[in-house]
Amino acid sequence: MAVTGRIDLGNVDDFQAQVLSLIESGKSGSEFLVLDLSGLEYISSVGLRALMRAAKASRGQNGMLVVSTYGRGVGEVLKIARIEFVVELFKNLDDAVKFLNTKRHPT
């Protein structure tokens, strides 16, 4: 799922509903979800909380949520919040997809 713009108090409910809907549907393995943040300019504390809630929901479906391709500003916020203890972080989309594929189809 590509995320663009901002995640803040004004739109966090819509963001969270979209992500949780994908996770809870469980169709076509969507419980394994990559959030591509390359177009995200800003994330507030409520956005971080929504990410954590989505990660928990994904684990509840025996899945996983990962984050990829975040910019410098968003990356700094993610690191300050120590979000890497809740979700896996990847610098690019390819690495995130490869990681999830190993979780889906372990060798």
Question: DSSP readout, 14-28?
Answer: HHHHHHHHHHHH-GG
Token pair in block for residue 95: 């690495």
The whole domain housing 65 covers 2-104
Instruction: Identify the band that residue 23 occupies on the pLDDT scale cut at 50, 70 and 90.
Output: confident
Q: Can you tell me the distance from the alpha carbon of 11 to that of 68, in angstroms, rounded to the nearest whole number? A: 20
Domain of residue 92, CATH code: 3.30.750.24
Edge to edge, the sheet with strand 32-43 lists 2-7, 32-43, 64-68, 88-90
Domains contained in the chain, number = 1
Q: What is the pTM of this model?
A: 0.87
Task: Determine the pLDDT at residue 27.
Answer: 54
